[in-house]
Amino acid sequence: MAGHLTSAQPLVVEFVGLPGVGKSHLTRLVARRLAAAGTPVRSPALRVNHELGTFRRVLYKFGVSAEQMLRRPAYAVHVGRELIRSGQQRPVDVVRLSYNWLFLVGLLRRARSQPIVELLDEGTVQLLWSIGFAGDERAIHGRTSDLLSGSALPMPDVVVVVEAPLGLIQSRLESRRSRAGRLDRMESAQRHAALVRGTRLLGDVLSEEVGVIRSASGGPLLRRVRNGNAVEFSADVDALVAELASLAAS
C-alpha cells in the first residue's frame, strides 16, 4: 500500500476501467455504502466531472491546475515536456492532458490533507491510460516513470479495476445520449477495435513492467469488481466496501 495507513491519514481509492464499464456508477454506490456504514467519504472528482455544468467545471479545474502551475512551475513544464514526447496526435491533446494531470495533482494533494476516504472515478492510472490511448501506447512504458518521478503526484492507496465484457460495454456506449467522449463519436466497428486496443493498453498500464502496480510492498493495493452481471457485481461490491471500511478504521 502507498504508505502506512492510520486513523489520522486518508485512504485514496481510484476506480479504473474502460469508458462505459461503470466507474462512475460504482463510485457513487461505494460512496453511499460507506457513508451508510458511518465511514467518512467524499468524491469531489465525481462531482466536478459529472455534476457541475461545463462552465463551472472548466473554471474549477482551471483554478486547481493554475495553482499547481504557480506552486510547482518546474514540475508543470516537466509534465508538458513528457506529454509532448508521448506521441499525442494533436497539440490540443497535450494541453488537455497537461491540464487534467495538474488538476489531478492538486486533487490528490488535497485528498491527503484530511482523514477521509477519497473516491476517484478518474485518477492517476486512468489518466495514464488516456495518455496512451490518445497518443502512442508504446510511450506508456517509456514515459510513465518520468511522469511519476518525484513526490509531486501522490499515489492512490487502492486501485479498483472495473471489468465487464466488451460487448456489454459497447452496448452501453451506444445507448449514451452524450457524444462528448472519443469512443462515443465512433462507429460501431471502429468503437469495437478501440475497445480491444483499450483493453490491451489497460493491461499494460497495470503491469509490473510499467511500475504503477507492484506486488512488492510500497505500491497500491489492486482489487477488481466484475460489472458483467448482477450477482458477481453485488458480491464484489460487498467485499470491496467491507475492506475499505476496515482499512479506513485501521
Residue 8 has pLDDT above 80, yes or no: no
Whole-angstrom distance, CA of residue 74 vs CA of residue 230 = 47
Residue of higher predicted confidence among 217 and 224: 224
Residue 150 has pLDDT above 60, yes or no: no
> What values do phi and psi take at 162, rounded to 5?
-95, 125
From the centroid of its chain, how far is CA 167? 22
Residue 7 has pLDDT above 90, yes or no: no
Range with lowest mean pLDDT among 31-35, 46-50, 200-204, 245-249: 46-50
Mean pLDDT of the chain: 85
The confidence score (pLDDT) of residue 6 equals 40
The pTM assigned to this predicted structure is 0.88
Whole-angstrom distance, CA of residue 13 vs CA of residue 125 = 11
- Greatest distance between any 2 Cα atoms in the chain: 50
Model confidence band, residue 149 (pLDDT cutoffs 50, 70, 90): low
Q: What is the pLDDT of residues 77-108, one digit of tens each?
A: 988 988 998 888 889 989 989 989 999 988 88
Closest CA to 141 of 87, 218, 90: 87
- From the candidate CATH numbers 2.60.120.1310, 3.40.50.300, 3.40.50.2300, 3.10.20.340, the one assigned to the domain spanning 11-249: 3.40.50.300
Q: What is the pLDDT of residues 40-74, one digit of tens each?
A: 999 888 888 888 888 888 898 899 999 999 998 99
**Domains of the chain, residue spans:** 11-249
Whole-angstrom distance, CA of residue 219 vs CA of residue 211 = 9
